[in-house]
């Protein structure tokens, strides 16, 4: 008799777990118990106070191992009074399931877990299936998927292909899949001059005009015109601060932050070198001291169109009658870590309400996503 696992019920159970990063909230334990009960070998890979789960059905490092990566942690709910429902109540209304994480991405985790469970129960494949689930995607992400990949390397575990189940579709399920992501880095600048009285500017070195010149040079520079699979890189000035409450004092210091989203024409290293060069030149011209530090969230990457993207696109088209656009748009995801391990693409639901008040997902879409993931498994192991 064919057995089926309800992905909507599983999504609801996960929403009821208040797993705001870095809290596990019961979500990882729930999945571990469920998967262990149907023959998955489950390992907790906790690190740095973060709960992670590695679940494998089949033999270790089988040459045909399909993996799924996702996260159960969620962003804070914000003002609870602004919600029309309990953020962790998993309330169902008019065909929608409400709750923090409903879209990003407990529905994706539930859909793939349900697809995998039913697949190994009813048509055990010649190969292995892996679920690598983290509790640290919405946080600083140093002890989440990275910890799982480190542990896999130590244990001789491997995936031959991986799908990340983040929301990828703008308006309708099936519209878009991700075959790469832009890199992301932030640069923090501090310009130091000499404090003085605004009536005697010649006795001071005002860092504010220096910073104005710096951010103007950076923000007006054209990084590139885009590449074959990526839009043009962007640099955005996100803040300029002096902390100066007086209107007659030239401050000694001013700070600014810029964020860069870059394509495969650059690396964080090449961009850091450019930023430092601009700062050094301006410092030499003005006599001000310019200090810069950087934080890199991830490098740009691309999984070239090929067998994996074809596999996913075919399944999506079969189940939705839409051929997904191959995109590299959006922010970062844990695919930026997985890409160093094996080929990886991303496909998931419509992401319109993620991180919003009254986050919600159409329940019919969760069933549809499970059907897509099931077809991917069927075709991969055919």
DSSP 125-170: -SSEEEEEEES-SSS--SSSHHHHHHHHHHHT---SEEEE----BS
Please indicate, yes or no, whether residues 168 and 305 belong to a single structural domain of this protein.
Answer: yes
Please indicate, yes or no, whether residues 313 and 247 belong to a single structural domain of this protein.
Answer: no
Please indicate, yes or no, whether residues 260 and 340 belong to a single structural domain of this protein.
Answer: no
The pLDDT assigned to 1 comes to 61
Q: What is the CATH number of the domain that holds 90?
A: 3.40.630.10
Which of these three, 298, 333, 364, is where a domain ends? 298
- Tally the domains of the chain: 2
> Domain for residue 2, yes or no?
no
**Residue 18, domain extent:** 7-181+300-380
Please indicate, yes or no, whether residues 159 and 196 belong to a single structural domain of this protein.
Answer: no
The pLDDT assigned to 330 comes to 87
Please indicate, yes or no, whether residues 195 and 176 belong to a single structural domain of this protein.
Answer: no
The pLDDT assigned to 173 comes to 96
Which of these three, 254, 283, 298, is where a domain ends? 298
In 3D space, the residue among 298, 308, 300, 28 whose CA is nearest the CA of residue 148 turns out to be 28
> Domain for residue 354, yes or no?
yes
The pLDDT assigned to 90 comes to 98
Model pTM? Answer: 0.90
Please indicate, yes or no, whether residues 338 and 252 belong to a single structural domain of this protein.
Answer: no
In 3D space, the residue among 37, 63, 43 whose CA is nearest the CA of residue 128 turns out to be 63
Task: List, in sequence order, the alpha helices (H) in the chain.
Answer: 7-15, 27-36, 107-122, 145-155, 207-220, 268-286, 307-320, 335-338, 363-380
Q: Are the C-beta atoms of residues 52 and 136 closer than 8 Å to each other?
A: yes
Which of these three, 266, 298, 330, is where a domain ends? 298
> Domain for residue 1, yes or no?
no
Please indicate, yes or no, whether residues 157 and 263 belong to a single structural domain of this protein.
Answer: no
Please indicate, yes or no, whether residues 122 and 224 belong to a single structural domain of this protein.
Answer: no
Give the span between the Cα atoms of 309 and 320, in whole angstroms: 16
At 348 the three-state DSSP class reads coil
pLDDT in tens, the chain (382 residues): 677 999 999 999 999 999 999 999 999 999 999 999 999 999 999 999 999 999 999 999 899 999 999 999 999 999 999 999 999 999 999 999 999 999 999 999 999 999 999 999 999 999 999 999 999 999 989 999 999 999 999 999 999 999 999 999 999 999 999 999 999 999 999 999 999 999 999 999 999 999 999 999 999 999 999 999 999 999 999 999 999 999 999 999 999 999 999 999 999 999 999 999 999 999 999 999 999 999 999 999 999 999 999 999 999 999 999 999 999 998 889 999 999 999 999 999 999 999 999 999 999 999 999 999 999 999 999 9
Q: What is the CATH number of the domain that holds 207?
A: 3.30.70.360
The catalytic site residues sit at 73, 137
Residue 47's contacts (CB-CB under 8 Å, 6 or more residues apart) are 143, 147
């Amino acid at each position: 008799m064919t057995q089926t696992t309800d992905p909507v019920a599983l999504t609801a159970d996960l929403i009821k777990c208040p797993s705001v990063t870095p809290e596990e909230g019961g979500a990882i334990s729930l999945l571990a118990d469920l998967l262990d009960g149907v023959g998955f070998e489950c390992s907790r890979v906790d690190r740095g106070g973060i709960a992670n789960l590695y679940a494998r059905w089949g033999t270790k490092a089988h040459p045909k191992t399909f993996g799924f990566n996702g996260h159960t942690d969620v962003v804070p709910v914000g003002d609870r009074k602004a919600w029309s429902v309990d953020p962790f109540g998993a309330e169902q209304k008019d065909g929608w399931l409400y709750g923090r994480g409903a879209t990003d991405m407990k529905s994706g985790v539930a859909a793939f877990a349900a697809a995998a469970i039913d697949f190994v129960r009813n048509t055990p494949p010649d190969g292995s299936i892996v679920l690598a689930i983290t509790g640290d995607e919405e946080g600083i992400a140093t002890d989440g998927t990275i910890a799982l990949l480190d542990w896999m390397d130590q244990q001789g575990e491997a995936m031959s292909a991986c799908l990340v189940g983040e929301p990828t579709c703008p308006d309708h399920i099936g519209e878009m899949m991700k075959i790469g992501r832009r890199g992301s880095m932030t640069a923090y600048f501090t310009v130091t001059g000499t404090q003085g009285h605004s009536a005697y500017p010649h006795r001071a070195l005002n860092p504010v005009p220096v910073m104005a010149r710096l951010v103007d040079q950076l923000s007006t520079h054209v990084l590139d015109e885009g590449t074959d699979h990526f839009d043009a890189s962007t640099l955005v000035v996100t803040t300029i601060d002096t902390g100066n409450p007086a209107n007659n004092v030239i401050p000694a210091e001013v700070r600014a932050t810029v964020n860069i989203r870059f394509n495969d024409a650059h690396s964080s290293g090449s961009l850091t070198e450019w930023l430092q060069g601009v700062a050094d030149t301006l410092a030499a011209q003005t006599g001000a001291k310019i200090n810069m530090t950087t934080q890199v969230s991830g490098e740009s990457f691309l999984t070239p169109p090929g067998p994996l993207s074809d596999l996913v696109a075919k399944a999506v088209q079969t189940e939705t009658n839409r051929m997904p656009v191959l995109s590299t748009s959006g922010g970062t995801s844990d695919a930026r870590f997985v890409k160093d391990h094996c080929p990886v693409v991303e496909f998931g639901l419509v992401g319109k309400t993620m991180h919003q008040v009254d986050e919600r997902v159409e329940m019919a879409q969760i069933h549809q996503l499970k059907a897509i993931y099931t077809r991917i498994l069927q075709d991969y192991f055919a």
